[in-house]
Structures are given as C-alpha cells and as structure tokens.
Structure 1
Amino acid sequence: MEHLIRVQNDYDRQVLAWLRRRIGDAALQSAVQRLAGSSKPYLSTICRSLGIRPPSRRQFAAETSRIHRAVGDSYLARIREILAKGPAQASPHQ
C-alpha cells in the first residue's frame, strides 16, 4: 500500500497498518484513487477524507508497551516452569 500513499515515518506506517485493519485494503485503495492527483496523497489527507481520526503516537506507544509486557510475562512464566522442574527434569539431553 505504501506505493500508493505517502508514508514518511514510523508513525505513518503504524497509522497505515491500523487503517488497513479498520477499513480494509479495498476501501483504502478506493479512497486513494479518489484523492490521487499528480502525486501520492498524504496519509493524513486520506484519514480526513474518510472522517477518521487515527490513534495518537502516545496511544500507539501504549499499545506497543502492553504487547511487549505480555510477551515478557509469557517468557518469564516459561522460565519459572523450567526452573520449578529442577535440573534433572529440565533437559533430558544433559
């Protein structure tokens, strides 16, 4: 989709992914075609034309933080399981 839309930074990439999940590729491509002139439209222009306000940078950062915390918690839980089994049961190939 980046070949149709002006994406300038990581925040734009996050907004584009969010928009694709929210409205789908077909609707997004249709909006781009309506706005397409001699150059690629900005993502903010597309959002305004659709009447959609994307999440803020802070909201994306909070979501990323929640995901990282969940992944970390799952790894810690797995490590605790391995440690709870003890050295004899942790790895049968020792």
Structure 2
Amino acid sequence: MEHLIRVQNDYDRQVLAWLRGRIGDAALQTAALRLGGQRKPYLSTICRSLGIRPPSRRQFAAEAARMHRAVGDTYLARIREILGQSPAEAALRQ
C-alpha cells in the first residue's frame, strides 16, 4: 500500500496497518487514488477525507506494552512451571 500512500515514519506505518484492518485494502486504495492525482497523498489526508481519526502515538505505545507484558507473563509462567518440577520430571521432558 506504500506505493499509493506517502508513509514517512513508524507512526505512519502503524496507522496504515490499523487503517487497513479497519476499512480494508480496497477502500483504502480507492481513497488513495481519488486523492492522489500526480502525487501520493499523505496518510493524514486520507484519514481526514474518510472522517476517521487514527489512534495517537501514545495509544499505539500502550497497546505494544500490553502485548509485550502478555508475552513476558507467558514465558514467566513456563519458567515457573519448569522450576517447579522435580529433577526426574525435567529430565523426562527433555
């Protein structure tokens, strides 16, 4: 989709992924072609034309932190499970 829309930084990439999930590629492509003309439109221009306000940088960061915490909790639970086993049980699992 970056061949149709001007993407300048990581935040733009996050917004583009969010927008693709929200409205779909076909609608996004139609909006980009309608607004593009000779130049690729900015992502903010596309959002304004669709009447959609993307999440803020802070919201994306909070979501990433929640995901990282969930992954970490999963690994910690597995480590605790391994440490709670007797040495004989641990040898059988390897």
TM > 0.5: yes
Partner of 2:68: 68
Percent of pairs identical after alignment?
A: 81
Superposed counterparts of 1:7-86, under 5 Å: 7-86=7-86
Name the count of aligned residue pairs. 94
Partner of 2:90: 90
Offset of 1:86 from its aligned partner?
2.6
Q: Deviations over 1:27-84 (max 9, x none)?
A: 1001011101111100000000000000000000000000000000000001111111
Cα RMSD for the two superposed structures:
1.3
Q: Name the CA distance, whole Å, in 2 between partners of 1:15 and 1:55.
A: 7
**Helix, strand or coil at the partner of 2:5:** coil
1:78 and 1:45, CA in 2 relative to 1: closer, same or farther beyond 3 A?
same
Q: What TM-score, normalized by structure 1, do the two folds share?
A: 0.94
Q: Report the AA paired with residue 14 of structure 1.
A: Q
Structure 2: any 5+ residue segments left out of the alignment?
none
Give the letter aligned to residue 55 of structure 2: P
State the alpha-carbon separation in 1 of the partners of residues 91 and 16 from structure 2. 44
Classify the secondary structure of the residue corresponding to 1:2.
coil
Structure 1 unaligned blocks of 5 or more: none
Q: Which residue of 2 aligns with 1:6?
A: 6
SS state of the match for residue 3, structure 1?
A: coil
TM-score relative to the length of structure 2: 0.94
Code of the residue aligned with 2:16 in structure 1: it is L
